[in-house]
Amino acid sequence: MSNQPVALVTGANKGIGTQIAKDLAGHGFTVLVGSRNIENGKTAADSIGPNAHAVQLDVTDPDSIAAAAERIRREFGRLDVLVSNAGISHAGKADKAFPSEGAASGLLTVAPMEEIRAVYETNVFGVIAVTQAMLPLLREAPAARIVNLGSTGGSLTWNAEPGNPHRAMYGAYSASKSAVHAVTFAFAAALESTPIKVNAACPGFTSTALNNFAGTRSVEQGAREAVRLAMLGEDGPTGTFSDEDGPVAW
C-alpha cells in the first residue's frame, strides 16, 4: 500500500486534467493519469514526474472502469481523491469548433440524439460510473475527496437571466454540466454521513481542446479550484459548486 495519498484524475492526458494531476503531484500525491489511450497517458505522466502513473480509463466503458479500479487496489492499495475531469463539448471530430451553428451547436431543438447521447455518456454517466466503481476504495480512505468539473455555463440560475448571452448556446453540453451539478449534489447528500466530501469546481473559460482553444484562461488557472477542493480539510464543505472567486449559483 502506498504511503502517499493517491489521486485519480480522469481525462488527465491533456489540458486541465494534466495540470490538475501535476499540481496534486506537487502537493505530495501519487497521481494516476486516467486516459482512454494509455500511450497518451504515459506521455502525460512522464511530463509530470515519477509520482505520476498512467491508467487506461475510458469513462464510457464499464470494463475499462472496472479494470482501472482493480489495478488501483492491486498496485496502490488506496484512493484518496477522485477528480472527474473527462468531458467532451460535442461528438465528432476533435477540431470541430464549439459552439457552431445548426445541429452541431448542440441546441436541443436540432441536435441529433446520437450527439446528445454521446455528450451525456462521457460528461454525466461517465462521472456516475467512475464514482460508483471507485467508492469502495474511497470509503476506505481516512478523508476522501471527490471533485467533479462543472461549468458556469451549466448554471440554471445564471442562464435564467434574460440578459445572459450564453442562453443562445445553452444546449447539450451546457445541459450536461447542469446534470453534473445535480449528480455532484446527489453523491454529496448520499455520502454526507461519511468523511467523504463531494464538490463541483468551475475552471472558467480555459483554453483547451474542448473549446478549440478559444478560452481566455490558462490551464494553470483552470486547475486551481479543483485542486483546492481536492485538498479540503475536515472543516471544508460538501455539496457545493464554486470557482476561484467563491460559490457559484447552481
Report the alpha-carbon distance of residue 145 to residue 136 in Å, rounded: 13
Strand order in the sheet with 52-56: 52-56, 30-35, 6-9, 81-84, 145-149, 197-201, 241-243, 246-247
Under 8 Å between Cβ of 90 and 97:
no
Q: Is 14 a catalytic residue?
A: no
Handedness of CA 93, 98, 101, 104 (dihedral sign): positive
Q: Is 177 a catalytic residue?
A: yes
Looking up cell 460510473 gives 129
Largest pairwise CA distance in the chain? 53
Which residue in the list 177, 178, 197, 207 is annotated as catalytic? 177
226 HSE (CA, 13 A, CB side) = 34
Which residue in the list 151, 176, 178, 207 is annotated as catalytic? 151
Residues labelled catalytic? 151, 177
